[in-house]
Amino acid sequence: MYLRFTSALVLPILSCCFGKANAEPCYRFALVRDLSDAFENSLKMNPPAIPIDVNLAKQQHEDYIHVLEDLIPNVVRLDSDPHHPDCNFIEDTAIIVGDTAVISRMGALERRGEEEAVEKVLEQLNGYKIVHIDAPGTMDGGDILFTGKHLLVGLSHRTNACTLHQLQQIFLGTVEVVGIPVVEGLHLKSVVSFFDGDTLVVADTVAGMRVKEEIDAATNCAYAFLVVPDSVASNVLRVGSALIVQEGFAASEAVLKAHCESKSITMIKLNMSELIKADGALTCGSLLIN
Ligand code: CIR
């Protein structure tokens, strides 16, 4: 079911199945945001060799939303924001853990303001405690990986130690919050993502292996790692008994496919070529809520 956001939208919080060890993360809501007509002006770490095809990007984002619609009962869709070409990357605007929503103060000045519309929707989702990252803290949701056991906070160009301390206070006594230095690339989740409560997918790159070492050290080796050769392919999106992966990275796909088959998980492939050009991956296009 798609829901267009209206001020009358008031939805209850439903039970969470994400806290238990090895539990499948099953979500009741997904928040997504339409891709901007100005998407070619999105932030990019490197200019793409072939310019972004905005119409194709829109189609790829639609395909992504359709996959989520098949997996998640309520997909809440926000209009795009004409002033923010990156607004479809809604993951960066907030994190939701248990009954707490933390609104980002995003690391890139150009993106500040995207979070306002998201906060309005979250206010309508009855029952969430809404808190904010305060200055001088900066946070992008792409740096925050909740595993059920830990909240891993990537310390990157976009997310700083001040935010780590604020999150440690916010989740004091509920979730262990640990900092993971990210020395290269955009976000923590550019090189590592969630497979299940015990297993993370990590890129076999210098940045990925460094992050793996940091996670091992910070969590006393709490996780097994599924190592994939392609950085882009290390960002997967697990929803219930499905794993959404990037199409077009054959070697990584083979690793993920074998692991999915051994766990009876359905693998769904999506081609995100145009979103990749703006440093987008699979987790970044939605905010998933238990
Ligand atoms: C940015 O630089 O902020 C966007 N062009 C890409 C954000 C991708 N976000 C994510 O992976 N969580």
Q: Does residue 101 carry a pLDDT above 70?
A: yes
Query: Percent of the chain having pLDDT more than 70?
Result: 92
Query: Percent of the chain having pLDDT more than 90?
Result: 89
The helix or strand, by DSSP H or E, that contains position 153, with its residue range, turns out to be strand 150-155
Q: How far is the CA of 123 from the centre of ligand 1 (A)?
A: 24
Q: How far is the CA of 169 from the centre of ligand 1 (A)?
A: 26
Query: Two tokens at 178?
Result: 């640990």
Q: Global pTM?
A: 0.92
214 phi and psi, to 5 degrees? -65, -40
Q: Given this model, what pLDDT does residue 24 score?
A: 67
Any bridge partners for residue 33, and if so which?
78
Q: Given this model, what pLDDT does residue 125 score?
A: 86
The span from the CA of 89 to the CA of 102, in Å, is 16
For atom 11 of ligand 1, the residue with the nearest CA is: 284
Q: How far is the CA of 173 from the centre of ligand 1 (A)?
A: 31
Q: Given this model, what pLDDT does residue 290 score?
A: 86
Q: Given this model, what pLDDT does residue 242 score?
A: 98
Q: Which atom of ligand 1 is nearest to the CA of 141?
A: 12
Half-sphere exposure of 212 (CA within 13 A, CB side): 19
Strands 144-146 vs 150-155: parallel, antiparallel or unpaired: antiparallel
Q: Given this model, what pLDDT does residue 4 score?
A: 52
Q: Does residue 123 carry a pLDDT above 80?
A: yes
- State mean pLDDT over 88-106: 97
Please state, in angstroms and as integers, the Cα–Cα distance from residue 43 to each residue in 35, 48, 104, 239, 280, following that order. 14, 11, 18, 28, 10
Q: How far is the CA of 111 from the centre of ligand 1 (A)?
A: 10
Q: How far is the CA of 189 from the centre of ligand 1 (A)?
A: 10
Q: Which atom of ligand 1 is nearest to the CA of 142?
A: 12
Q: How far is the CA of 278 from the centre of ligand 1 (A)?
A: 7
Q: How far is the CA of 279 from the centre of ligand 1 (A)?
A: 6
Per-residue burial over 176-200, b if 16 or more Cβ lie within 10 Å, else e, is: ebbbbebeebbbbbbbbbbbbbebb
Give residue-wise pLDDT tens across range 9-30.
434 333 344 444 345 678 999 9
Q: Which atom of ligand 1 is nearest to the CA of 280?
A: 8
Give residue-wise pLDDT tens across range 207-263.
999 999 999 999 999 999 999 999 999 999 999 999 999 999 999 999 999 999 999
Give residue-wise pLDDT tens across range 174-220.
999 999 999 999 999 999 999 999 999 999 999 999 999 999 999 99
* Best mutation site among 186, 190, 192, 274 for ligand 1 pocket (most ligand atoms within 8 Å of CB): 186
The span from the CA of 16 to the CA of 7, in Å, is 25
- DSSP 8-state secondary structure symbol assigned to residue 134: P
Query: Two tokens at 95?
Result: 């994190």
For atom 3 of ligand 1, the residue with the nearest CA is: 43
Q: Does residue 287 carry a pLDDT above 80?
A: yes
Q: What DSSP letter does each residue of 188-254 carry, written as one string?
A: GGGTEEEEETTEEEEESSHHHHHHHHHHHHHHTS--EEEEES-TGGG--EEETTEEEEETT-HHHHH
Q: Given this model, what pLDDT does residue 127 score?
A: 80
Any bridge partners for residue 151, and if so which?
146, 177
Amino acid at 67: V
- Which residues line the pocket of ligand 1, CB cutoff 6 A? 42-43, 86, 89, 91-92, 108, 111, 141-142, 187, 278-281, 284
Query: Do 128 and 156 form a contact (C-beta atoms < 8 A)?
Result: no
Q: Which atom of ligand 1 is nearest to the CA of 190?
A: 11
Query: Two tokens at 152?
Result: 């891993």
Q: Does residue 63 carry a pLDDT above 60?
A: yes
Taking the C-alpha atoms of 41, 44, 50 and 52 in order, what is their torsion angle to the nearest 10 degrees? -40
The span from the CA of 234 to the CA of 252, in Å, is 8
